[in-house]
A and B are shown apart, each in its own frame.
Chain A
Amino acid sequence: MSLSYPIESLAAHPAHLSPAYRSSIKRAPSRPLIPMRHTLSELTGPVYGHEAVRESDNDLTTQHKGEPLGERIIVHGHVLDEDGRGVPNTLLEIWQANACGRYIHVRDQHPAPLDPNFTGAGRAQSDAGGYYRFVTVKPGAYPWGNHHNAWRPAHIHFSVFGHAFISRLVTQMYFPGDPLFEFDPIFNSVPDEKARMRMVSAFDLENTQPEWALCYRFDIVLRGRNATPMETK
């Protein structure tokens, strides 16, 4: 399969400089990026076998002696290319705050409790159809220092690879209906509302497990289109 990576697709991304997100002010390039043709270096990418993922890595609730506190949830979906085809056997990595909105990272000083039964990191590989699934707890919102009374909407960080080094994506999955959306400069750094909403998972009643866990669906669309359109009869 030969894929192309139209540059126009990148319009969905935030600008590097988004002044409302203060940390971007000194970390965004001031010179224009230089366009170039994609070469084999850009069009290839790391390929992973199952060796990077242990069987239990996609269940963040079973990594310790006891179960973490919080609302158990299932997060699942497909990794897709721009033509809607599943991206098979690709690595997904996630990390998140615990149910109280606290990360185990040493620099997180939010005065909310750590949970000895929750690290907050997970890993999965999509199957042959691009499908992935995690079990975790719903992360809490948490305050940050960007501006007065700044709070991040609850989110799970996702890192995904795809077919090429230029399909690499790091994003955040949000939860539907979060009242913090309109106040969050990171969420709103994505200029197009429809594109913004693609970062919001959908409540998935159908796949909710009765008596056990609510389910959210989050499909991730990576760059990449069929370079040679299929012939039609």
Chain B
Amino acid sequence: MQEPKSKGITPSQTVGPFFAYGLTSNGKYDWNDAFTNNLVTADTSGERIRIEGRVFDGDGQPVPDCMLEIWQADAQGRFSDPKDQRALPNSAFRGFGRCGTDANGDYSFDTIRPGPVPDPDGRAQAPHILLAVFGRGMLMHLYTRIYFDGEAANAADPVLALVPADRRGTLIAKRQPGNGNAVYHFDIRLQGDNETVFFDI
């Protein structure tokens, strides 16, 4: 017979060190990936961009066993979710990606630049991507946001405004020089100097 369970949510536990074969196998294990780090399909509209960077721990060491997930709007600022009633039914863009860090702690996503999304008061937020960071040693994933440098709307973004000015830079992906598709660099520092801002959401 079952004991009745107490009320409340199921607690989080770490993904541990061995998640890769189940969640980010990337062809290395006998299992297919449900998700990859490439969100772009042939019929996706919008500006192609790449986001890349490295995850560091509190000693400044790269973290080779993290999993990163991103969630973002399409180029028009609409989410591929029926709860976003502004969403265009013909949008082919799913908006979700997953990437494991490699032996050097590096990750990358190929995606599109998201459009602006309204805040609860209807004001526009600057284009941003939600990022969840999972890893061995992390009992609960951490949420942060990726914004884009050179974006005029950053100055009026209501979420960036909550962040002390001296830490805001940790949320801004830096445009890398070069031709072709835009490449943005975004490192994640879990702890210590220049620690990435994480949100309590």
- Hey, which bits of chain A sit against chain B, CB under 8 A? 5, 7, 9-10, 12-16, 18, 21-47, 52-54, 63, 82, 91, 93-95, 97, 103-108, 119-123, 157, 159, 163-166, 168-172, 186-187, 189-190, 194-199, 202, 204-205, 217, 219-223
Contacts and interface: CB of A to CB of B under 8 A. Distances in A.
A41 B73 contact: yes
B2 A202 contact: yes
Given A16-B138, A93-B23, A34 B197 contact: yes
Contacts of B107: none
A13 B11 contact: yes
**Nearest 8 interchain pairs by C-beta:** A95-B22, A23-B137, A33-B200, A46-B96, A121-B22, A27-B137, A14-B139, A105-B18
A12 B8 contact: yes
Contact of B139 (A21, A35, A105, A165): A21
A198 B23 contact: no
Contact of B21 (A25, A27, A119, A166): A119
B22 A157 contact: yes
A210 to B, nearest CB: 18
29 contacts: A12-B8, A16-B139, A25-B58, A30-B58, A31-B167, A35-B200, A35-B201, A38-B120, A40-B79, A40-B84, A41-B73, A41-B145, A44-B84, A47-B81, A63-B30, A104-B21, A105-B17, A105-B18, A119-B21, A120-B22, A163-B83, A165-B132, A169-B10, A170-B13, A170-B141, A189-B13, A190-B11, A202-B2, A204-B2
Interface residues on chain B, size class:
35 or more
A57 to B, nearest CB: 9
B165 interface: no
Nearest to B167: A31
Interface string B65-97: 000010111000001111110000000001110
Nearest to A35: B200
Given A37-B119, A41-B125, A42-B201, A196 B190 contact: no
Nearest to B161: A36
Given A186-B14, A217-B2, A223 B23 contact: no
Contacts of B61: 26
Interface in B81-124: 81-84, 94-96, 117-120
Given A39-B118, A93-B23, A95-B21, A33 B11 contact: no
B52 interface: no
Contact of A93 (B22, B59, B71, B190): B22
Nearest to A26: B58
B13 A16 contact: no
Contacts of A21: 14, 137, 139
B142 to A, nearest CB: 7
A142 to B, nearest CB: 10
Contacts, number: 247
B134 to A, nearest CB: 6
A119 B31 contact: yes
Find the residue from B11, B130, B192 having the highest chain A CB count within 10 A: B11
A199 B10 CA distance: 6
A41 B128 contact: yes
Nearest to A122: B22
Contact of A199 (B11, B34, B63, B125): B11
B34 A91 contact: yes
B8 A198 contact: yes
Given A13-B140, A44-B84, A93-B22, 13 more contacts: A14-B139, A26-B137, A29-B195, A31-B197, A35-B200, A40-B84, A44-B83, A63-B30, A121-B21, A166-B201, A197-B5, A197-B6, A221-B8
A47 B96 CA distance: 9
Contacts of B1: 205
A98 to B, nearest CB: 12
